[in-house]
Amino acid sequence: MTDYTQVWTPLDFTADGKQCDWLRVPYSTDLSGYGVVPVPIVCIRNGAGPTALLMAGSHGDEYEGQVALAALAREIDPADVRGRIIILPALNAPAVEAGRRVSPLDAGNLNRSFPGDPVGGPTAMIAHYVTTVLLAMADLAIDLHAGGRSCDYLPCALIRSGGTEKELRELADLAVAFGAPVTSISDGSGGGGRTTFSAVGLGLGVPVLTAELGGRAALSREGLAIAERGLLRVLQRYGILSGTSADPASPTRFMRVRGRGAFIYAMRKGLFEPAAELGAAVEAGQLAGVIHSIDRPWQAPESVVFTEDGMVACRRAPMLTEPGDCLYKLLVDVDPG
């Protein structure tokens, strides 16, 4: 694809071997008129074969994927590769540097900025380059996330519905190889809609697996291990990597978001005291938590209840809560057949 982009790299995607460099995203400021935002990128290629695009740090405060991909980039020997692996452990680098979900440069939320804009701010330019250059070269892609500061996630993979039956089967195979305990089949109604990386992957016919590996802006060792083993298994499954061995995948439980009722929101400001743990099976009408008033502590706290049955996949992390904050996301099992 030859779309206009201002992002460039000296790295040659057609060259064999391991190359480590930056994407350079133009960002002109008072103290750096010709400055660029450096986005680290590693390309490992060995002859013809499929291309895997592996990304983390789309949101800066989500860490398991950043650590897993940096380690993978260091450890892979190009001699063990057939095809090409492109690794970006800190995709929205300014957000990663700041430990934030969004970029401090333009308040850009990278995984709500797709397909991007070649003449937008740094975040939009990164999204556009990923869409038109990197995804265009890819045969599969993995985008590693976690709950960030605001959420805690049960480790799970996510795949998008909405493609053909063949595409969904390929995504399901990818999820089985990745081997997260749970795989959520999503239609994008949870918030991302058409603005996520997985949505542009669906549009371009490239299978994209997203993973949520932990949260609270901390590092989950369980999530990190799932990412490390899952990445190796997927690369082996596609015939891109040999010479390393990963444990066989544990079975994944396919689940889905039933609809908007799966998301429980706060209706008032206060301190959120949760009543259900991650992974818990809950029922409609069951207490989800209470919100304590800060300015009228003599008032009874407001109860929040679940409105559907399901399993708690995600829960708000900070106690301090505003109206409109999401408190829980529930998943239900995919109907057999």
Chain contacts with Zn ion (rule: CB under 5 A): 59, 62, 145
To Zn ion, the closest distance from the beta carbon of 109 in angstroms equals 9
C-beta closer to Zn ion: residue 213 or 311? 213
To Zn ion, the closest distance from the beta carbon of 92 in angstroms equals 10
The three-state secondary structure class of 270 is strand
Distance between CA atoms of residues 19 and 80, nearest Å: 15
To Zn ion, the closest distance from the beta carbon of 59 in angstroms equals 4
Asked if residue 101 lies in contact with residue 191, where contact means CB atoms within 8 angstroms, the answer is no
Q: And the tokens for 76?
A: 């892979």
To Zn ion, the closest distance from the beta carbon of 278 in angstroms equals 17
C-beta closer to Zn ion: residue 57 or 270? 57
C-beta closer to Zn ion: residue 92 or 252? 92
C-beta closer to Zn ion: residue 64 or 228? 64
CB atoms within 10 A of CB 11: 15
Phi and psi at 214, nearest 5°, equal 170, -145
Distance between CA atoms of residues 62 and 217, nearest Å: 6
Distance between CA atoms of residues 66 and 58, nearest Å: 9
To Zn ion, the closest distance from the beta carbon of 63 in angstroms equals 11
What's the one-letter identity of residue 181? P
Q: Tell me the residue number closest to Zn ion, measured at CB.
A: 145
Quickly tell me which residue has 């990190």 as its tokens. 224
Distance between CA atoms of residues 73 and 94, nearest Å: 20
To Zn ion, the closest distance from the beta carbon of 319 in angstroms equals 21
Which runs of consecutive H residues, i.e. helices, occur in 205-318?
221-237
C-beta closer to Zn ion: residue 59 or 128? 59
To Zn ion, the closest distance from the beta carbon of 95 in angstroms equals 10
C-beta closer to Zn ion: residue 213 or 291? 213
Distance between CA atoms of residues 8 and 286, nearest Å: 53
C-beta closer to Zn ion: residue 150 or 307? 150
Peptide bond into 115 cis (omega under 30): yes
